[in-house]
């Protein structure tokens, strides 16, 4: 059996997330169907991150086992030929037998994009959150410092949630490029909607609705109801995985 590793890019707008769901089309379903047609047998694909409905990816990592004799080049060309325009395999190779896209991961990277200007964008509406009022990035950065390190992030996790809500945020940066504000975050793992909830909180800091120091109180509360809004899905991108 070959252990296939691939890096996937997708526009999540029209999908109910990555993981198979009984109530809607998902990226996993479309990808597994394409791989099964190429290899001639059914496969179950593991992913590094189970992105939610509407979330995009530029560096999603997947893995699956197959007994096919098709080369790596043949696989990537064949799979891409069967995928819709909003899903693409960027690269594909054969990994060691013990590699697993999810369980071998050491940390994951996400990037959130906010369009911060008065007028909305006809071209960026699928890929950014439009915030009209000017964001104070210095205040947002001060708040972000309190989120670095190991904390209980229950206040920033949507239910239903796992029993262990402690995560280690290894990096969190905020910068502006033109009208776009980028919030880049790296952690050993993420709770459901954690990045979007953190983004919503930081945006409210940037709008002056909270003080940066309020972040400490919200973390200590360990209660989702204590924190601010959840940023919409369309601005979130799963960008990279460390192994």
At a CB cut-off of 8 Å and minimum separation 6, what does 229 contact? 200, 201, 203, 204
Q: Which residues contact 205 (CB under 8 A, 6 or more apart)?
A: 136, 139, 140, 142, 143, 211, 212, 214, 215
Backbone angles phi, psi at 190, to 5 degrees: -130, 145
Residue 176, number of CB atoms within 10 A of its CB: 12
Count helices and strands in the chain by DSSP H and E runs: 5, 10
The SS3 assignment for 179 reads: coil
Q: Chain-centre distance of CA 4, in angstroms? A: 22
Looking only at the bridges linking them, the beta strands covering 129-131 and 107-116 are parallel
- CA 91 – CA 65 distance, rounded (Å): 16
| Residue 52 appears among annotated catalytic residues | yes
Which are the contacts of 103, defined by CB distance < 8 A and separation ≥ 6? none
In angstroms, the CA 240 to CA 48 distance is: 9
Asked whether the beta carbons of 115 and 129 are under 8 A apart, the reply is yes
- Residue among 11, 14, 52, 138 flagged as catalytic: 52
Tell me how far apart the alpha carbons of residues 179 and 75 are, in angstroms, rounded to a whole number: 40
Write out the catalytic residue numbers: 52
């Amino acid at each position: 059996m070959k252990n296939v590793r691939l890096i996937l890019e997708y526009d999540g707008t029209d999908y109910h997330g990555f993981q198979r769901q009984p109530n809607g089309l998902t990226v996993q379903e479309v990808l597994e169907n394409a791989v099964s047609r190429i290899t001639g047998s059914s496969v179950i694909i593991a992913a590094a991150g189970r992105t939610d409905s509407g979330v995009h990816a530029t560096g999603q990592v997947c893995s699956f086992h197959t007994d096919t004799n098709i080369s790596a080049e043949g696989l990537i060309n064949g799979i891409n030929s069967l995928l819709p325009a909003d899903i693409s395999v960027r690269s594909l190779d054969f990994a060691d037998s013990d590699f697993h896209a999810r369980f071998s991961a050491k940390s994951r990277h996400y990037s959130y994009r906010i369009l911060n200007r008065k007028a909305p964008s006809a071209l960026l509406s699928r890929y950014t959150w439009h915030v009209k009022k000017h964001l104070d990035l210095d205040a947002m950065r001060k708040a972000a410092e309190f989120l670095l390190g190991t904390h209980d992030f229950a206040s920033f996790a949507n239910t239903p949630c796992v029993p262990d809500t402690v995560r280690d945020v290894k990096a969190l940066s905020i910068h502006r490029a033109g009208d776009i504000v980028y919030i880049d975050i790296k952690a050993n793992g993420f709770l459901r909607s954690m990045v979007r909830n953190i983004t919503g909180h930081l945006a409210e800091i940037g709008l002056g609705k909270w003080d940066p120091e309020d972040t400490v109180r919200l973390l200590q509360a360990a209660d989702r109801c204590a924190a601010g809004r959840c940023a919409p899905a369309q601005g979130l991108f799963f960008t990279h995985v460390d192994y």
